[in-house]
């Protein structure tokens, strides 16, 4: 019997690609395609959905509470999830006996990049991250970059100061020029500087650069087509079966990671 999936944000580029991948899968089907204006409670109940995939935007993450309240287990593929939201969802999941998986990035190659970066952090204390995305991505730094920084920092430990430069206060860097009226981009996560670019022509790219005496080590991942996310999307939805509580990262449900 096929798993019944509700896709929220189904009209976006990522949502349309995900719907095609789910429909092409032999073990699941899309039973509801939701946009931001839809009544999620009614749509979830009337469609008979068992699981939900959220691919919307940070401002719409309040809808996750509604999906959980209707009894669905949820994959959140939307960037910009806060710790406060994770804590609230964890309480809901505990009360309802459901599961939620937050996935900053669905690419298997990204998981490998993060793992290799953790290994490099055992030998290099100085590191910075550059992440580049399309111009319509609203959050900065990206969820992938933040997760990478946190994993590197867990290796570096609180006693070692990465970056070697002047401390950046808060989570957002000062603008380089006061003439720039747009939003500041980049910041520090877990003490590690992250630089963000948002330009047409990019999809999703990240470079982690470690510096040492007389040498540089760069670990790079490039996503050039949204099809690269689809194996991870399907794996995340399959991983919801029997999942309880809130879990972060695709690696939490993949064997071998």
Q: List active site positions.
A: 133, 137
β-strands 73-76, 99-102: how paired?
A: parallel
Task: Give CA torsion, residues 42, 48, 52, 53, to 10 deg.
Answer: -100
Q: Give how far Cα 3 sits from Cα of 22, 27, 170, 212, 245, Å.
A: 10, 6, 43, 50, 20
Give the separation between CA 193 and CA 80, rounded to whole angstroms.
18
- 218: helix, strand or coil: strand
The region, left, alpha or beta by phi > 0 then psi within -120 to 50, assigned to residue 115 is alpha
Asked if 67 contacts 6 with a C-beta cutoff of 8 angstroms, the reply is: yes
HEC string of 144-186?
A: HHHHHHHHHHHHHCCCCCCCCCCCCCCCCCCCCCCCCCCCCCC
């Amino acid at each position: 019997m096929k798993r019944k999936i509700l896709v929220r944000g189904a009209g976006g580029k990522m949502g349309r690609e995900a719907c095609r991948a789910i429909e092409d899968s032999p073990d699941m089907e899309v039973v509801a395609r939701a946009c931001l204006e839809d009544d999620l409670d009614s749509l979830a109940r009337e469609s008979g959905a068992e699981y939900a995939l959220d691919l919307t935007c940070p401002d719409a993450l309040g809808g996750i509470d509604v999906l959980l309240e209707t009894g669905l287990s949820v994959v959140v593929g939307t960037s910009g999830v806060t710790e406060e939201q994770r804590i609230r969802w964890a309480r809901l999941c505990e009360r309802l006996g459901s599961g939620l998986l937050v996935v900053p990035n669905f690419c298997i190659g990204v998981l490998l990049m993060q793992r290799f970066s953790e290994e490099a952090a055992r030998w290099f204390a100085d590191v910075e991250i550059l992440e580049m995305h399309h111009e319509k991505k609203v959050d900065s730094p990206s969820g992938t970059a933040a997760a990478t920084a946190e994993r590197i920092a867990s290796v570096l430990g609180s006693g070692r100061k990465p970056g070697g430069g002047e401390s950046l206060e808060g989570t957002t860097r000062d603008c380089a020029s006061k003439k720039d009226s747009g939003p500041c981009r980049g910041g520090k996560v877990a003490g590690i500087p992250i630089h963000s670019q948002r330009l047409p022509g990019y999809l999703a790219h990240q470079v982690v650069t470690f510096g040492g005496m007389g040498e540089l080590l760069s670990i790079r991942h490039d996503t050039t087509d949204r099809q690269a996310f689809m194996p991870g999307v399907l794996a995340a939805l399959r991983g919801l079966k029997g999942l309880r509580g809130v879990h972060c990262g695709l690696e939490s449900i993949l064997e071998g990671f």
